[in-house]
Chains A and B, each alone.
Chain A
């Protein structure tokens, strides 16, 4: 219902064409009852509209959330940040790579020294074992050959000399030990049977200086030992052939004795 309190709303709807036929009929009836209000309706200018002014709020950035506060900066300096990041990554990789290479280079001698030390320790242990064995053999030889105490001193000298040669490979030293062991076995055998074989061999393999029976404890070099070993083996083979030739002429008891020699040599 149109009253004096709300007639402006009906006037506005009428000007804007939003009234239905019934509402227009009610409005005309209201204007007929209040003719002084018709001037207001006629004075209203629907084209009188306020034009917005351009007013800016200069503190927008302070309103934005902190997380996205840096978004414009990120967009603006994204390329610079990407380049800086790549540079840092490359620099860090180069740094760690250089550090790694340096440490590797520094560790190489340490590892080598460790190997040498380990090898030296093993060699010392081997030599100690061999020393014990050698001493045992020497004692046995002393008993068998009735040698003097001076021979034991020579044996200890051999051990000292061999310790100084710790840079040699383990296989070489084992070979020396084996050869020495073979030689000692052969010497032991020859002490009983053919003592002259070993003496002559040592004289041949040694230097121009005279080598006595005691020189079987000299620290042989690889070259000398190998040659000496081959000669000894040759002589052993020859000895075995001699025995084999004799075996044919003797009974089985002698064969058993020859086989015992072979087992002991191994």
Chain B
């Protein structure tokens, strides 16, 4: 990967990976730090990383850093947030979806975000998350079912 390609990666994927991280944590500074560390590692490994596989490398690196942080910190922080925020009134579907996402287990959330937000195939998601294709499909099915169920329950509440 050339320097120009590296900067193209920054322009193309920095927003995506930052969004991916923010969907897993509300800590903006932590998300920025992970993005910074991710692209720093990509720069260090630019000679070994093919440009056309750089996006998967970026997301895999960011995901692993996220997992490391979650394992070192409170693993259930998001569940507490959901319980705290669910008492609020939401009129925006975006807020409802974000709240529904927070109810998902981290692995399901990562899988469905990579599938719906980034358009990855099941194989690519498996490579990023270190899962088999069948596991990815299971998590995505469960995540989508949970979200649909959650949205339906919110609609009933509103």
List chain A positions with a Cβ less than 8 A from chain B.
5-6, 8-9, 11-13, 40, 43-45, 48-53, 55-57, 59-60, 62-65, 67-68, 71
25 contacting pairs across A/B (C-beta < 8 A): A6-B138, A8-B142, A11-B141, A12-B137, A12-B138, A12-B140, A40-B145, A45-B144, A48-B148, A49-B116, A50-B97, A50-B113, A50-B116, A51-B116, A53-B19, A55-B15, A56-B15, A57-B32, A59-B36, A60-B10, A60-B14, A62-B36, A63-B35, A65-B3, A68-B4
Chain B residues with Cβ below 8 Å from A45 are 144, 148
A9 near B94 with CB under 8 A, answer no
What are the 4 closest A-B residue pairs judged by CB atoms, nearest first?
A: A9-B137, A8-B141, A50-B116, A57-B18
Q: Which chain A residue lies CB-closest to B98?
A: A53
A59 near B32 with CB under 8 A, answer yes
A65 near B7 with CB under 8 A, answer yes
Chain A residues with Cβ below 8 Å from B101 are 50
Chain A residues with Cβ below 8 Å from B141 are 8-9, 11-12, 44
Q: A55-B15, A56-B15, A63-B36 are in contact. Are A13 and B137 (CB under 8 A)?
A: yes
B59 within 8 A of A: no
B43 within 8 A of A: yes
B94 near A57 with CB under 8 A, answer no
- Which applies to chain B's interface (DSSP): helix, strand, loop or mixed? helix
B120 within 8 A of A: no
Q: Which chain B residue lies CB-closest to A45?
A: B148
Cα A49 to Cα B22 with chains together (Å)? 19
A9 near B138 with CB under 8 A, answer yes
Report which of A13, A43, A55 forms a contact with B22, defined as CB distance below 8 A.
A55
Q: Which chain B residue lies CB-closest to A15?
A: B141
Which interface residue of B112, B113, B134 has the most chain A CB atoms within 10 A?
B134
Q: Which chain A residue lies CB-closest to B22?
A: A55
B36 near A6 with CB under 8 A, answer no
Minimum distance in angstroms from B99 CB to a CB of chain A: 13
Chain B residues with Cβ below 8 Å from A55 are 15, 18-19, 22
Q: A8-B138, A43-B145 are in contact. Are A50 and B117 (CB under 8 A)?
A: yes
